[in-house]
Structure 1
Amino acid sequence: MSQVRYGIIGIGNMGSGHASILTSGKINGAVLTAVCDEFESKRDWAKEHFGGSVAVFENADAMIDSGLVDAVIVATPHYGHPSEAIAAFAKGMHVLIEKPAGVYAKQVREMNDAAAASGRKFGIVYNQRMNPLYKKLRELIASGEIGEVRRINWIITNWYRTQAYYDSGTWRATWAGEGGGVLINQCPHQLDLWQWTTGMMPTRMRAFCQFGKHRDIEVENDVTAYAEYANGATAVFITSTSDAPGTNRLEVSGSRGKIVIEEERMTLYRLREDEAEFNARNKESFASPEVWKIELPASGPSPEHAGILQNFTDAVLLGTPLAAPGEEGIHGLTLSNAMHLSTWLDDWVDLPLDEALHEAELNKRIATSKFKRAQPVEAKR
């Protein structure tokens, strides 16, 4: 195979974005050969936009059975990601899914099993893994630069969304249509980076999700979560869609210092010696370890979605390791599922998560959701 022939399932905002990148010629070894969408208006747009150079289908089965594609990009609404991926694996496709991996961990685990059985490449569009800032953070933590991780604080409240945004689709911000709010729609990248950069998953969590705070919606749009780890570390994660202006600040503190990322800049606060060693030898009441503040230089722009597409193409053609394996989508989703479940039960939740209990509680909300699916749901973010 000299090039990967891509087909896109769902050409709303995200799908059309991938199509634009693929048809730009920026991705070596990749070509867009087909798209599909349940919406006639989207199919008409594709026919007009691509001028006949890309085949247009009504559904994924017809597109895949045409023999025109080697890999699919799944850009449908959240609930459809696992089912579309599983069907594509069954037909021998390589699969790249949009975030989130799904809505609840059980369906994502089934998708992961199908991927493993297929022997095909499986990736997820965690484009922030391509960001030099977070790649550097992961490298510094893994190398032991700040010692053992002790505390993680992330305030990510710059997801401002108006009522007009929520009113733009009947499926939006509903349990039945979207499966959640800020945790499932806006924050999957941060939930992934939280555990990917630190290499740690919590052992238990207590969360407080506020549903419809300052907005007429039924899902969460303001969250404060507290997590604990096996090594004694703790984490606080705060997010909202109604803060103006918002904040995006990540701090990771360890026994040898702290890393702060804010406003696209990274600052390293490096202790001259490990805090535990300093504490053991110190005899002064109000002494503190010597600390060096280092502003780390920018590492260049992030390739974002194009970077993920190039990496996935290289994985198919050359066997290049995936930057964002699809199987890892379950980790960030587990964090959001745990936050929901903790709030619903008004209690601590242990990890690994009781996935059956989470699904049962989610189904209770779906049963009373305002959204009732009467027509295809258009994929937008």
Structure 2
Amino acid sequence: MDNLLRIGIIGVGTMGTAHAQYLQQRKINGAELTAVVDIDEDRAKWLEENLDESVQVFTDVEAFLESGLVDAVIIATPHYDHPKLAVRAFEQGLHVLCEKPAGVYTKQVRQMNEGAAKSGKVFSMMFNQRTNPLYQKLRDLIQTGELGEIRRINWLITNWYRSQSYYDSGGWRATWSGEGGGVLINQCPHQLDLWQWMTGMMPKRMRAFCFFGKHRDIEVEDDVTAYAEYENGATGVFITTTGEAPGTNRLEIAGDRGKVVVENGKLDFWRLRVSEPEFNREYKGGFGAPECWKVDVPIEGEETAHAGITQNFVNAVRKGTPLLAPGEEGINGLMLSNAMQLSTWIDNWVELPIDEDLYYKHLLEKIESSTVKKSAGSVALDVEGTY
């Protein structure tokens, strides 16, 4: 317990650098940054000049993993690399904290989950929105039955505005071979995770309409409207885009005991005095509705974001603290994303869990026609599971 957990970072771009900064600033109790790896030699040189002298910088991933300098890794590389790097780290006996998304397609992520289970090591996802007290409280209202049985979930999240210059800043951006998707895989993983995490439910089937390059000159989806159906009869609608300004972020969840709306950093809860089914069963007055109270729900605590997830991960390794974002749950939000894309590709309903081989087939077709031809070959190799 007195030994610090030695953490290494794989991929030190924007997010990797952010993780390195709070680790070096000793903001994570019980942990220290001991090594980093980035295959870009210019970036590695910059890291050598800007990180503490005690941090070893590598350009070779295998040398990094086999160095004996780390007990755990934070993976902050491009999306396609997440699963294969996690599997390799587990094989090396290391604990893993993976940036979102878990991967690009569920077939690949399933292999990562199997590797985690086999290793017995701690595995967590960087779902930092789970540290937000507002979403934690909403989850509590649902899980404890305050909202009653869920009937409808509507999430309008369109405040992801991205200009053409953003996409032009990197040739890998918004390509099937470079990122494996658009707004769903790049901007929305947190919302897709929260959708299923807060409600505790996954849809039984989905019908989605993804538009590819609708607002920008890109390959992947930048405008999505999806409709979901659940076993209990509940429905859900998820709408998102990167081409709308000003944007909106409004989540509305209706249950048979009331309704919750989350917007502008605020949670509003309208609670029915009696459940809607009970009112409907007993009321004989024709026009009328259940008495409704607006409840002031106390939201306590503060969002600890990325550092909070990292601290929870370290505590799980050192003290056995339950994980806030277990790695195995990363596949759930990705399943929603894959289902939306697949539904569009086949122009039909998709049952969940999805046909992973069918999704893989369509994804490979997209990769082969991608503008980033050089990346496509390595991605296809990874898809085949040869890592």
Q: How does 1:356-371 map to 2 (within 5 A)?
A: 356-371=357-372
The one-letter amino acid paired with 2:356 is E
Contact 1:265–1:296 (8 Å) recurs in 2: no
Q: What root-mean-square deviation, in Å, do the aligned CA atoms of Structure 1 and Structure 2 show?
A: 1.2
Distance 1:101 1:374 in 2: 19
Distance 2:11 2:225 in 1: 33
**1:117-173 Cα distance to aligned partner (Å, 9 max, x none):** 001000000000111011111111011001100000000100110001000110000
Match of 2:104 in 1: 103
1:284 aligned to 2:285? yes
TM-score of the two chains, using structure 1 as the length reference: 0.97
Contact 2:177–2:375 (8 Å) recurs in 1: no
Match of 1:224 in 2: 225
Match of 1:272 in 2: 273
Q: Secondary structure at the match of 1:226?
A: strand
Distance 1:294 1:274 in 2: 15
Distance 2:122 2:335 in 1: 22
1:93 aligned to 2:106? no
Q: CA deviation at 1:294?
A: 2.0
The one-letter amino acid paired with 1:192 is D
1:77 aligned to 2:84? no
Large movers: runs of 4+ above 3 Å: none
Q: CA deviation at 1:284?
A: 1.7
Match of 2:253 in 1: 252
Q: How does 1:147-186 map to 2 (within 5 A)?
A: 147-186=148-187
Distance 2:283 2:158 in 1: 40
Q: CA deviation at 1:214?
A: 1.4
1:4 aligned to 2:8? no
Distance 1:280 1:320 in 2: 46
Q: CA deviation at 1:45?
A: 1.4
Q: Which runs of 5+ in 2 are unaligned?
A: 379-387
Match of 1:31 in 2: 32
TM-score of the two chains, using structure 2 as the length reference: 0.95
Indicate the percent of aligned positions where both proteins have the same amino acid: 63
The one-letter amino acid paired with 1:271 is L
Distance 1:298 1:115 in 2: 34
The one-letter amino acid paired with 1:340 is Q
Q: CA deviation at 1:371?
A: 1.1
Q: CA deviation at 1:373?
A: 3.1
The one-letter amino acid paired with 2:372 is F
Q: CA deviation at 1:63?
A: 1.2
Distance 2:47 2:265 in 1: 35
Q: CA deviation at 1:286?
A: 1.4
Distance 1:168 1:254 in 2: 44
The one-letter amino acid paired with 1:336 is S
The one-letter amino acid paired with 1:58 is T
The one-letter amino acid paired with 1:167 is D
Q: CA deviation at 1:289?
A: 0.5
Contact 2:24–2:52 (8 Å) recurs in 1: no
Contact 1:177–1:373 (8 Å) recurs in 2: no
Q: How does 1:213-362 map to 2 (within 5 A)?
A: 213-362=214-363
